Structure 1
C-alpha cells in the first residue's frame, strides 16, 4: 500500500538530511508504528506519505514514495485526499470550519459524497469517538483533547485507504485514547485500512502494532521488525518493556497483561525485600503548609463561560516545593484552572490568589515574577526567528544572567543550535524550548499544560530532573497532564477534576492506584505491591535488604 524507495529528505539551509535511507513497504491492512527520539525525522517521513513533504514544507525529496500506486512527487496533497487521511500534531492547523459537525462533514463535501451517505457517516463518527454531545459546539471552545478527537473524526468520515497519524493520542485522556485506538483497530482488522502512526506514548499503542519502524537518529536508515524485537533495541520504549528488561524476561512483554503473567517471581523478590513503603517508592510526604501566603490558593472558585460552567466551587492550596498533577477527562476544567492562575479568566464567584495577588487584576510584568505558564501550544510563546534570539529575549524579560535560557535548552534539547528557527523544530522540541523560556524567570509557581506532549522518554526524563530540582529549591509546580507515568514519577499530589469539580485530592500513590484509568503500568503489573515506576523497582532490587 505504501512504498518507500531509497527516500531521503533534506530541508533548505541544512547540510545534513532530516531523513535518509528509507527503503521499505507498509502492506495493506497493517497498523505500523513509527518510533524514535524527538527530531529523528518521524514527522518528515509521515509528511512524505501525504505529499506535504516537499510540496508544502519545501526541501528536496530524493527517491520515490508511492501510495496506492500514486507517486507523491507528481501528485500534490489534494490529489491524494481520497486515499490518504492525515492528522498532524497540531489539530488547530487542521480545521477549516467553526463547529464540530461541520468539520466532520467538510472532507466529504470536498470529495462529493452524497448527502445521505454524509449524514450516516457523521453520525457513526460522532458515536465512535464520543463526540455526540459536542456536535453543535464551536471548535474554539473545545479542550485540546476534544479538538484532537474532532481532527481524527474529520479524517475518518472520508473512509481513506491509508491513515497517517502524528501523535494521535498525545492530548487525549486515557479513556479517550483507548476509544480512539479501538476505532483504529476496527478499521485495520475489519476494513483493511492501512495505518501509519508516530507516537511517543508507547505504553498506549505498542501492543496494537503489527510492525514497528525505528528511526534511531536524523538521516539514518530505519530499522523495521516485530514490535518485541524492535523494543529490545530501541532507545525509546514503554515502562512495561523497561520492567521486562530489568527482570530479564524474554521475549519482552508489550502489554500489562503479558507482564502480569510473568511477574510472580519478581513480586516475590520485591515483597521479601523487607523495606518500608517510603524506602521502596521514594515517596515524600506532602509539602508542609505554607502559612498565610501560599504560592497559589483558590477558595470556592467558579468559572462560568457562555455555554458552560468550566469550574465549580474549587478549593485548592498549592504549597512551596510541592508538585501537583491535575488529571481528569478532556474538557474537565484542568486548562481553565491553569489559565485562571495566570489571570486569563476572572472568577465568576469565589477567589483566587497567586503570591497574595489577584492574577486577573495584576499586570503581566508583575505577574511574571510570581507565575509562569507553558501552554499546550508552545508556538504561543515563541515569536523570534531563531532559538538564540528566543533565549536572549527570555533572559531579558526575566532579568536573568545571559545564557540562563540557553543552559536550560541544552538540558532539554541537546544539540539544537542557536541558528535553528523554532518552526524547524519538532512539536516536542518547540514545547521544550517554550518550557525553557518560562523557566528562565524561575517564578515561585510554575504551571505546565500537557508538558510531555511530543516528548520522547529521554526528553521526559530530563524534564523530570529539571522539575524535581526546581521543586527542591522551593518552587511550586502544577501540571495538567494525561501522562499517568509522569504523574507517578514526579507528583507529590494528584488532583482529579471531573466536570469542573475536584473529585479526588491526595498523595500520588493513593490516588493513582485507586483508579484503573490513572494507574501507571508498573502499578498495574505489580499490584497490590506499592511500586509505581521502574526506577523504584530497580532501587528496591539493588537495596542491601533485598539482596541480603
Structure 2
C-alpha cells in the first residue's frame, strides 16, 4: 500500500494500488510520501540520523519543505507527542518503546493524508499505548486522516476504530469482522508473586546510570530457580539496561553473583554460558543465514543435550509453526517468525540464567500462547532462573510466578 513493492522487494501478482486514480508505484518517492506515510515494524530501520531532532528534520527535508516550515513542524510534533525532552537525545540510546514513539512522531510530522502503522505499539508501555491511540483518533477526526494499523494486540481499540479487518491465512482473504471481537478481549490475570527460596543468581547493592541519569539506586535481589518472573515498568525506565548490566555489557556498581561468587571474576566468554539474553531486536541475535542453520548452531552448543534432542527440537519447531520456513533466510522472515526463531534458539542453548527482552512483540495470540508455554515448560523442566520483559500482559500474567516492577529508580515485588 505504501508503494514499496515491487521496487524494493517482493512481487505484486495481481491488482493495483491506486492513489487518486494513479498507481502509487508510478509516483516518485517524495511525492508519494506527501500522501502516504508508513511506520515500519522495526523503528531502527527508519532512522538515518543521530538525534531525534535531526531525524525529524531529515524526513521533512526529503519532502522539500521550507526551512521555517520544518522548524515549526518539528516543534509542534514534539510538543504534540510529549517528546520535547527527547529533542537532542541520540536515537541509539533510546529504549525500544522510545524509538517507536520517535518513529511515529516522524511519520506524523510528514503530514501525510494516509498513515500506515505496522505494530506501532509492540514495545510501548500501556500508558503510552493509550496516549498514542487517543492522539491518532484525534488526528483522524480533526485533520481528516486515514489511519490503518496492523496489530496483534486488540487492547485499547474499543470505541476507537471504525473498521476491523482480519487476514484469513487459509483462504488468503482479508475480511471485515464484527466489532464484538474487540469486546471479547480477555482481561489479564493478576500476578500473585510467590518466590522459591532456592537461587544461584542475584545481585547485591546493584546500581547503574545512563549518561547523567541514575536509573537504579543500590538494590539487592536473588532470582528464584525454576520460576518465570515478569520485569515490568514504563518505557525508558531502565529494564533493558538492567539486563545489559546482568549480562556484563555495561558498567555498574555493586556485585552480580552466581553461586555466591562475584561474577566480575568470571571471564566474559564463560559468563555468556551462564547468562543467556534474548535481545529486544531479533536480528541482533542471528549468527547464521537460515533458520535451520541458527537452530543447528544452538543444538551443537546446548548445555542440555539430553533434554534438547532432535525429536524435542522438531516438536518445538512444529509448535511454533516454523516448519515451513526452516530453509528461509532468517533476516527475511516476518517479525513474528524472527521472534519465535530467536526465542527457540536461546531456549535450546539453556543457560541456567535466561533473560528475555520483549520476546513477545509482534506475535499473534496463538504464537504468544505457544511461546509462553514453551518458555515456561523449559524453565520448569531445566530448573532455570528466568526473567522476561513484556508490555503485553494479556496471555502472559497467568503463566508468571512473580512480578518485579521497575519505577522511581527502584525494583519492587508486586502482589506479594
TM-score, structure 1 normalization: 0.70
Highest RCO, 1 vs 2 (Cα 8 Å, sep ≥ 6)? 2
1:339 pairs with 2:244: yes
What is the aligned residue count?
410
Deviation of 1:78 (Å)? 4.0
Paired residues for 1:296-375 under 5 Å: 296-347=201-252, 349-359=253-263, 362-375=266-279
Give the deviation of 1:220 after TM superposition.
0.6
Structure 2 residue 321 is the aligned partner of structure 1 residue 413: yes
Distance 1:62 1:494, change over 3 A: same
Larger Rg: 1
Structure 2 unaligned blocks of 5 or more: none
Q: CA deviation at 1:90?
A: 0.5
Task: List, as ranges, runs of 4+ consecutive aligned residues in structure 1 with deviation greater than 4 Å.
Answer: 281-285, 355-361
Match of 1:463 among 367, 371, 374: 371
Q: Does 1:175 align with 2:127?
A: yes
CA distance, structure 2, for counterparts of residue 362 and residue 204 of structure 1? 46
Contiguous gaps of at least 5 residues in structure 1: 1-48, 232-237, 244-255, 257-280, 511-548
Question: Which residue number in structure 2 is paired with residue 546 of structure 1?
Answer: none
Per the alignment, do residues 61 and 310 of structure 1 end up closer, same or farther by CA in structure 2, a change over 3 Å counting?
farther
Of 213, 217, 225, 2:165 maps to 213
Aligned equivalent of 2:398: 489
Report the Cα offset of residue 409 of structure 1.
Answer: 2.6
In structure 1, the residue matched to 2:282 is 378
Q: CA deviation at 1:332?
A: 0.4
Matches within 5 A, 1:97-246: 97-217=49-169, 220-228=172-180, 231=181, 240-241=183-184
Select the residue among 14, 33, 49 that pairs with 1:81: 33
CA shift in 2, pair 1:388/1:88, >3 Å: same
Change in Cα spacing, 1:223 to 1:286, as seen in structure 2 (3 Å) is same
Preserved CA contact (<8 Å) 1:295 1:445? no
Name the TM-score, length of structure 2 as normaliser.
0.91
Counterpart-to-counterpart distance in 2, 1:226 and 1:296: 49
Contact 1:487 1:494 in 2 (8 A): no
Match for residue 95 of structure 1 among 29, 47, 53:
47
How is 1:507-526 mapped onto 2 (pairs within 5 angstroms)?
Answer: 507=415
> How far off is 1:157 after superposition?
0.8
CA distance in 2, matches of 1:164, 1:285: 40
Query: CA 1:446/1:362 → structure 2, altered by over 3 Å: closer, same or farther?
Result: same
Query: Do structure 1's residue 451 and structure 2's residue 356 form an aligned pair?
Result: no
Cα-to-partner distance string for 1:97-155 (whole Å, 9 max, x where unaligned): 11111112222111122233222222221122221111111111111100100000011
Q: 1:393, CA displacement in angstroms? A: 0.9
